[in-house]
Amino acid sequence: MCANRTALQEVMDEAAMARTIARMAAEILERDGGSLMLVGIHTRGIPLANRLARALHEATGQKVPVGSLDITLYRDDVGPWRPAHQQPVLKKTVLPDSIDHKVIYLVDDVLFTGRTIRAALDTLADWGRPLAVRLAVLIDRGHRELPIAADVVGKVLDTTRDEDVQVRLAEADGEDGVWIGREVKNAG
Amino acid sequence: MPVESATALARKDVVGISQLDAGEIQLILDTAGELLEVAKRPIKKVPTLRGSTVVNLFMEPSTRTRFSFEVAEKRLSADTLNFSASGSSVSKGETLFDTARNLMAMAPDFIVIRHPHSGAPHRLAEVVPASIINAGDGINEHPTQALLDAFTMRQRFGSLEGLKVVVAGDIRHSRVARSNAFLLNKMGAEVRFAAPASLLPLEVEELGVHTFVRLEPALEDADVVMMLRIQLERQKRINFPSMREYFDFFALTPERLKLAADRAVVMHPGPMNRGVEIDSLVADGSQSVILEQVTNGVAIRMAILYLLAGGRSEAASDS
């Protein structure tokens, strides 16, 4: 199951990613002023939320709280829906403060089917009643299976369903960049 | 060497610690660590097991374990059916297998079973397709108790490796002691059993533990002191002269607790008999983690239900 990286084409490099995140932060500020909280979705939504928070802090001098959300228990393919012995490993949900009366920005790297975001909305609903929930994603690659749209998008990528979009972030993967392409799988 | 966590619990049932390997134990403990958080939310419930049915089949009295399972099931949104020996067809002479076959007609996904006969959950696991979780069988095993004990120790000390754990009291009739011995040995802790010789199991050497017939030497430098209740209901004759004498020699008193390490914690699987195996000053003292054990028990049972839950719908078997 080893992906062949040479079949991938880089569509966003480190510098472009930095510019994109700065622009996303500016868009967040344009839309919403006070009582913001950024909530990153495991795994790569969390470093992205931290970078957005840093950009917001630089722009306004205000610290924006950042949380992390594990949606596993709310997924539509866990529990009875999952093949035997393949339950995903759980991760931590940490919300720095009550989400009541705040504008929550869910942050994720790629918006694809929308199922993750559906699960994230259900997760948040069990934690409180925010003023509003918005969605910020670095990449929107289309192919939605649910009526979900992002409010702040870094880049829209035109993809086919079976193409692979890889967002790599220094915090998780050792480098910054976005690659697209068809994953070539080894037969074994 | 730290134990590497397994990536999945690749089994249908959890009937005993003896069947689990260290990686699987680690996975259950890690998963419980994440699930502990559900109890701190405004809404203490997640939808993961909605539509799943759990039968709680308790053929022996239980309050804490039954409630703990029931809370765990409800926090995961499963539907629960409670079945107890008294007031049921069992008291009318039905066998375990007939009871189970009839319950299977209701298509439960899980059966949590407590039974007075050792091995009953294992036999049941062979004949029904539901996942069986052992909630205590005779004098054999009580795996979820050992797991919640281990979780509580790990919460306090970070790791189980090298911990010196004393289990004292009626070990002969204790499935908790057996499950703890299996688990702690697998995870690299040192287990010391302390009991009057008449309350030690017959083949205690096979459990790989150090045995003591006095409490004091066992307590030396101990990190964990787990006291067990005298199980009068499992003894045809009393194996010691009197309760008073038992207290004098084997109860955990503040003075005896001083022999243990300064950081030592006191545990008890409940129900406690204050003034028999444990002094109230110790049970309610600052070193007691007895109530933490109860809280952690819910998370451990949620973890097992979660990890066993896959592969039940036709959609899952198709993919």
B54 CB-contact burial (10 Å; exposed 0-12 / middle 13-18 / buried 19+): buried
B48 CB-contact burial (10 Å; exposed 0-12 / middle 13-18 / buried 19+): buried
Contact between B132 and B121 under an 8 Å Cβ cutoff? The reply is yes
Chain B residues with CB under 8 Å of a chain A CB are 5, 7-12, 27, 30-31, 34-35, 37-38, 41-43, 45-52, 76, 109, 306-307, 309-313, 315-317, 319
Q: How far apart are CA B259 and CA B164, in angstroms?
A: 13
Q: Look-up: residue for tokens 């194996």? A: B239
Residue A179 reports pLDDT greater than 90: yes
Contact between B268 and B227 under an 8 Å Cβ cutoff? The reply is yes
Asked if A80 reaches chain B (Cβ–Cβ under 8 Å), the answer is yes
Residue length, chain B?
A: 319
H helix runs in B203-253, sequence order: 215-219, 243-250
Residue B48 to residue A73, Cβ atoms within 8 A? yes
Q: Convert the pLDDT of each residue in A25-60 to its tens digit.
A: 999 999 997 799 999 999 999 999 999 999 999 999
Distance from CA of A88 to the nearest CA of B (A): 8
Residue partners of B262: CB distance under 8 A and separation at least 6: none
Return the number of other C-beta atoms located less than 10 Å from residue B308's C-beta.
23
The pLDDT of residue A109:
98
H helix runs in B158-206, sequence order: 175-186
Mean predicted confidence (pLDDT) in A100-107: 97
Q: How far apart are CA B171 and CA B295, in angstroms?
A: 24
Please give the structure tokens belonging to residue B114: 């407590």
The pLDDT of residue B88:
62
DSSP for residue A36:
E
The pLDDT of residue B315:
45
Asked if A121 reaches chain B (Cβ–Cβ under 8 Å), the answer is no
The pLDDT of residue A79:
79
Contact between B259 and B219 under an 8 Å Cβ cutoff? The reply is yes
Distance from CA of B110 to the nearest CA of A (A): 11
Provide the terminal-to-terminal Cα distance of chain B, rounded to the nearest Å.
38
Residue A84 to residue B311, Cβ atoms within 8 A? yes
Burial B134-155 (b: 16+ CB within 10 A, else e): bbbbbbbbbbbbbbbbbbbbbb
Report which of B124, B92, B93 is spatially closest to residue B110, judged by C-alpha positions: B124
Q: Which of B5, B48, B49, B50 to mutate to test the interface with A (most CBs of A within 10 A)?
A: B48
Which of the residues in chain B have pLDDT under 70?
1, 86-92, 234-238, 312-319
Strand partners, A155: A139
Which among A70, A79, A125 has CB closest to B49?
A79
The pLDDT of residue B106:
85
Cβ-based contacts of A130 with chain B (< 8 Å): none
Element (H, E) at B112: strand B110-115
Integer-rounded Cα Rg, in Å, for chain A is 17
Asked if A87 reaches chain B (Cβ–Cβ under 8 Å), the answer is yes
Strand partners, A111: A140
Report which of B102, B103, B113, B39 is spatially closest to residue B76, judged by C-alpha positions: B39
Residue A5 reports pLDDT greater than 50: no
Please give the structure tokens belonging to residue B266: 């006191």
Contact between B178 and B152 under an 8 Å Cβ cutoff? The reply is no
Contact between A31 and A187 under an 8 Å Cβ cutoff? The reply is no
Which among B42, B310, B317 has CB closest to A87?
B310
Cβ-based contacts of A79 with chain B (< 8 Å): 48-50, 52, 76, 306, 309-310, 312
At what angle are helices B143-157 and B175-186 packed, to 10 degrees?
A: 50
Count of A-B CB contacts under 8 Å: 89
Distance from CA of B313 to the nearest CA of A (A): 6
Phi, psi at residue B149, to the nearest 5°?
-65, -45
Residue partners of B305: CB distance under 8 A and separation at least 6: B49, B54, B72, B73, B76, B78, B110, B133
Residue length, chain A?
A: 188
Please give the structure tokens belonging to residue B46: 């997640």
More confident residue, A98 or B236: A98
The mean pLDDT of chain A is: 92
Contact between B165 and B224 under an 8 Å Cβ cutoff? The reply is yes
Mean predicted confidence (pLDDT) in A13-20: 98
Distance from CA of A31 to the nearest CA of B (A): 29
Which among B42, B45, B313 has CB closest to A81?
B313
Which among A85, A90, A128 has CB closest to B310?
A85
Residue A90 to residue B51, Cβ atoms within 8 A? no
Residue B37 to residue A93, Cβ atoms within 8 A? yes
Strand partners, B288: B266
Residue partners of B63: CB distance under 8 A and separation at least 6: B271
Q: Convert the pLDDT of each residue in B81-112 to its tens digit.
A: 998 876 566 666 778 888 888 888 888 999 99
Asked if A74 reaches chain B (Cβ–Cβ under 8 Å), the answer is yes
Q: B8: helix, coil or strand? A: coil
Closest residue in chain A to residue B27, using alpha carbons only: A89
DSSP for residue B317:
H
A186 CB-contact burial (10 Å; exposed 0-12 / middle 13-18 / buried 19+): exposed
